[in-house]
Chains A and B, each alone.
Chain A
Amino acid sequence: MMAQLVPIPIAAASTWLQLDLLHVDFMRQALLGLLIIAPLTAAMGVITVHFRMSFFADAVSHSAFAGIGLGLLFSVSPHWTMPLFGVLVGVGIMVLQRRSRLSSDAAIGVVFSGVVAFGLAMVSRHAHVARDLQKFLYGDILTITPDGIRGLILLALVVLPYLAWSYNRLLYIGLNPPMAAAHRVSVAAYQYSFSAMLALVIMISIWAVGVLLVTALLIVPAAAARNLARSAGSMLGWAVVVGLLSAAMGLILSAQPWANTATGPTIILVACALFLCSQCVQSRAAKRTA
């Protein structure tokens, strides 16, 4: 009797959620792509939140338009111009922050305005591209190709070792850069390399959730992890778990006939719901210790 009872709810849930959708090729590809992107963004998000760089992430993501514009100008695929230009913008903002007297917000604001205006001006000259902009705004993970998946694996092979190498030092720099420098941490090298790496991850993640929501993919899992973790180490683990859950659940829910929503926004909605749960967990823990 019991043996029969256990599988029934799972089977029911599977039927209700129409999990057989995942047998369709493009859904499987999308799931695979998201399962690579989500841990990367979540892990980078932990440092992004620690450095208070969400405005930086916004500026870099909006430079996608300029990357597309440059591609049109030089007749090069935006798959190349977007990440390259994004990295350039990320490093450029860091140069401005470190070397000019402008406040951090002002430095980012200036670059943000310039690249968005340039991108929109370029794109507006080409009516057919302007129509395609929607996929950059909201993301288009369902059309990811095997080549795209290979690109993501390559990205993970670059970003994950980098994070493993620099996670502790980046956290240390975020607490007080002069202290880190005095204690023999190469602050400038870490700041520039993290900016470049973050820009690269953002530009690639735009294919999944779009310009408007890519910052959320970085920030929301990290914010939930902050509520759930008890140490700097477990924060990274929690962020990856929340990122993965959001991506998988978001993809499945968005494909439901009753939902029929764009995948990117659905993923972020799930992440926000998980953040709310984490907030409740933290509030209960705080009450217990009070």
Chain B
Amino acid sequence: MNSPAVRFQALSVQREGVAILQSVTASVPSGGCCAIVGPNGAGKTSLLLALLRQIPYTGQIHMATPPPRLGYVPQRLDFDRGAPITVMDFMAMSLQRRPLCIGISRALRRANLERLADVHAETLATRRLGALSGGELQRVLLAAALQQEPDLLILDEPTAGIDVRGEVLLCELLERLRSERGFTQLMVSHDLATVSHHATHVILLNREVVAEGGPSEVFTPPNLAAAFGLHMGHIMGRISGGAAEADEGNR
């Protein structure tokens, strides 16, 4: 068995004396799609931010050596939607040192268009970031993350704010890219049905790890009740079929 891409060991995060995460020990297997799920306030995004070294934590985060190249797709961008920043500008910002006012090099422009084509977004290159829909922006953010040629692709709620069709397309796209490029995918999601269909490994979190493993092992009534409360019966039917199917597929 491959060594895990990431291993969280006794990781705790506190904010103003309140425990956000308590002694989280879990692994992200290499090459798969690992989903972190849990209710609101479970500490899912905090776990990602700790991994990105953006918040202080105690405990340890072990990564494979050499440290993997990261690609990160945030849930949203915090910017003035009227700002004249085009998709092409955005794609060039982290890779080109020459200031954008002098122009974008031809080679980078071509590479950007290829990455955008990978996520079916090449027609968006000249559009302003602020004019994109939720789904379009997610694909552009994904293209920017792929441009980093990541070993570990981290996504924070990639399907939030997009419709069901967009969600399915995005998940299928991620699966294709993962199989083509062989990166490890780690995503936070609130959508149990999507996770049960697409994830190969699940970390169920509610400030601490409730369960970890394949979707069908994790999405059991006792685990879901422990994480989300007692009123989970109505979603069980929706996800149990998907989980079994996903596990079958992963096998």
Contact = CB atoms under 8 A, between A and B. Distances in A.
A235 to B, nearest CB: 6
A237 interface: yes
A233 B101 contact: yes
Interface in A230-269: 230-237
B17 to A, nearest CB: 11
A129 interface: no
Contacts of A184: 94, 148
B70 A178 contact: no
Interface in B89-123: 89-90, 92-94, 96-104
Nearest to A164: B99
B71 interface: yes
A163 B98 CA distance: 10
A171 B85 contact: yes
B83 interface: yes
B84 A232 contact: yes
A179 B74 contact: yes
Contacts of B82: 226
Contacts of B103: 233
Interface string B132-171: 0000000001001100100000100000000000000000
A233 B16 contact: no
Interface in B37-93: 49, 52-54, 70-74, 76-80, 82-86, 88-90, 92-93
A164 B99 CA distance: 6
A235 B77 contact: no
Interface string A159-172: 00001110111011
On chain B, which size bracket covers the interface? 35 or more
A35 interface: no
A168 B89 CA distance: 9
Contacts of B99: 163-164, 167-168, 233, 236
B73 to A, nearest CB: 8
Nearest to A230: B84
Interface residues of A, number: 33
B49 to A, nearest CB: 6
Contact of A175 (B52, B73, B90, B100): B90
A190 B194 CA distance: 38
Chain A's interface: helix, strand, loop or mixed, by majority? helix
Nearest to A238: B84
Contact of B74 (A165, A178, A226): A178
A181 B53 contact: yes
A230 B98 CA distance: 19
Given A181-B53, A226-B83, A235-B84, A168 B97 contact: yes
Contact of A167 (B90, B94, B101): B101
Contacts of A53: none
Contact of A233 (B73, B89, B145, B148): B89
Contacts of B96: 168
Contacts of A171: 85, 89, 93, 100
A12 interface: no
A234 B84 contact: yes
Contacts of B73: 179
B71 A231 contact: no
A235 B80 CA distance: 14
Given A168-B94, A185-B94, A231 B16 contact: no
B35 to A, nearest CB: 19
9 contacts: A167-B99, A172-B93, A172-B94, A177-B54, A178-B72, A179-B74, A226-B84, A230-B84, A232-B93
Interface of B: 15-16, 49, 52-54, 70-74, 76-80, 82-86, 88-90, 92-94, 96-104, 141, 144-145, 148, 154
Interface of A: 49-50, 101, 163-165, 167-169, 171-172, 174-185, 226, 229-237
A-B pairs, 7 with minimum CB distance: A182-B72, A233-B100, A172-B93, A232-B89, A233-B101, A167-B99, A236-B101
